[in-house]
A and B are shown apart, each in its own frame.
Chain A
Amino acid sequence: MSETNTVSKADSRDDAALLPPVDVIEDASGITLFADLAGVPKDKLQLHVEGDTLTIEGEVDLEIPEGMESSHVEVGRPRYRRVFTLSRELDASKVAAEFKHGVLKLVIPKAEHAQARKVQVKVL
C-alpha cells in the first residue's frame, strides 16, 4: 500500500482538504489503517475503493453558534482527504471499517492466495 502523489484534476482551490494523520500497520493477515478525522460525523465520512485506489474523505461538521468570529484557527478547512494505492495482494472487497470518536479504523485483509503459508516439509 502506498500513497499516491498525483492530484486528480477535480481538485480545485475551494476543494482543498486537510491531510489527516494516519497510522498504517501490517501483519500476516492484512493491513490496519487508523485515521484521525476529528469533527467528522458518521454520515459525512466517505470511503471509496475504485480499482486499487482507496480514498478517505470526510466533512467537518461543528456546531458553531450564530455570529461567531474566529480568533485563532488551526483547523482551517472543513474537509479531510487522503488517497492510498492498494497493492494487489490486498482484498479491497473485504474492507471492514469502524468509526468512533473521530477515529477511523480500516482493516484490509490480504487475499487468501497471498497470505503467507508455512510449507510443511515432509521427510520420506
Chain B
Amino acid sequence: MMYRSLFPRDVLAELDRLQREMQQGFRVSPSIRGVARGGFPAMNVGGTASSVEVYAFAPGIDPATLDVQIEKGVLTVAGERQLEQPGEKASVHIDERFAGRFRRVVTLPDDIDPSAVEARYRDGVLRISIGRKADTQARRITIQ
C-alpha cells in the first residue's frame, strides 16, 4: 500500500508518489508478489557470508503486535499500525503516514536455516537476522 495523500495541497507528497509510481511502471521485472517498492514497511535486505539481514522500517508499532513468519523460504512481516486519531474539531492539513494493516513478503535464499532467526525492534526498525546453514557456507581452502 502506498502512503496516502488525500490532500491535493501537499504538492511535494504528490510528486513523490507520482515519481514512485513511474519508477514502478518502468521496472522491467516486477516481483511475482506484486509491488516491490513503495510499500509499508519499507525494506532493506542484505547478506553476509553467515546470515541474511532484513531491515523493515516500521516506526510507531508495538513490537508485540508484529507477526514475523518464515515458511518454505519465504519471510512474512505482518501487523497493524494504528495512529492517534485527531480530535473531533481538529483539521488535518497533511496526511501522509501509513495507517492500517500491512503485510510484506520477502523470498529468502535457499541456504538459510529457519531455526536460526533473531528479530529485534529498535528505533522503529525491525531487524531480522536469519542464519545460513553451516554446511553451505563458503570455505576458504588452503592450498598446500
CA distance A70 to B128 in the complex (A): 14
| Interface of chain B residues 78 through 124 with chain A (CB within 8 A) | 83-84, 86-87, 89-98, 121-124
- With A39-B123, A65-B51 as given contacts, are A25 and B86 in contact (CB-CB < 8 Å)? yes
Set of chain B residues within 8 Å of A102, measured between Cβ atoms: 57, 59-60, 123-125
Number of residues of chain B lying within 8 A (CB) of chain A: 46
Tell me, yes or no, whether A96 is within 8 Å of chain B by CB: no
Instruction: Return the contact of A39 from the options B83, B84, B98, B125 (Cβ within 8 A).
Output: B125
| Interface of chain A residues 43 through 74 with chain B (CB within 8 A) | 61-74
- With A38-B125, A40-B123 as given contacts, are A75 and B90 in contact (CB-CB < 8 Å)? no
Binding site for B on A (CB under 8 A): 1, 3, 5, 19, 21-28, 31-32, 34, 36-42, 61-75, 100-103
Binding site for A on B (CB under 8 A): 3, 10, 12-13, 16, 36-38, 41-49, 51, 53, 55, 57-61, 83-84, 86-87, 89-98, 121-125, 127, 129
